[in-house]
Amino acid sequence: MSLVLDSAAQDLLFREARTSNSFSDEPVTEEQIQAIYDLVKFGPTAFNQTPLRITLVRSPEARERLVKHMAKGNDAKTATAPLVAILSADNEFHEELPQLLPHFPQAKDAFFSERPVREQSALLNAALQAAYFIIGIRAAGLAAGPMTGADFAGIQKEFLDADHTPLMVVNIGKPGENAWFDRSPRLAFDEVVTTV
């Protein structure tokens, strides 16, 4: 065995974990989401930046406003999931760098003074954090249904502002009946990894 993580944890986080297409009625609590965030916030990013922003859609009115921006096929899942999160990248993340990178506070101005540079870095690092968030959901014994099939311009206008770029919508909860599609294939090690 080459991995330190035990087999059950590997199954929970990766091998048996799947994108859920239906959910039970069991609610997802604020305490669960806080525990997930308090775990995944330690995932590495460049310059220790933290551009991911999580908008929890809990009220029926907000859910209705979100569902109208989801692609057909994603709308019904989003309407019925116990909890939905909009994940976005904060393009003004650099304002927090003096706090998050106290040994190099000048990084804020030295590397991120220009908006296009910030947007590129925010997108990459928020996507990393979104992946950590999905793994954290699995670590909490919940299932995630991440989706990019949506009108993101509409979601941004409805829920965010010009400084926040939407990345995905994630349905969260305990899996319901017939939650899984068949497992799709993955590329083999030799198809992905090269040594130089």
- pLDDT above 90 covers what percent of the chain? 90
Q: What is the rounded distance in angstroms from the CA atom of residue 144 to the CA atom of residue 137?
A: 6
- Lowest mean per-residue pLDDT among 53-57, 82-86, 104-108: 104-108
* Residue 2, token pair as written in the block: 């080459």
pLDDT(1) > 80: no
Residue 177: both structure tokens together: 């009946």
* Ordered domains of the chain (ranges, CATH): 31-176 (3.40.109.10)
* pLDDT over 90 (residue 178): no
pLDDT (mean) for 91-96: 97
- Main-chain dihedrals φ then ψ at residue 187, nearest 5 degrees: -70, 145
Tell me: the pLDDT tens digits for 95-154?
999 999 999 989 999 999 999 999 999 999 999 999 999 999 999 999 999 999 999 999
Give the pLDDT score at 131. 98
Calculate mean pLDDT across residues 43-58: 97
In this model, does residue 176 exceed pLDDT 90?
no
With CA atoms as reference, report the closest residue to 12 among 106, 137, 110: 137
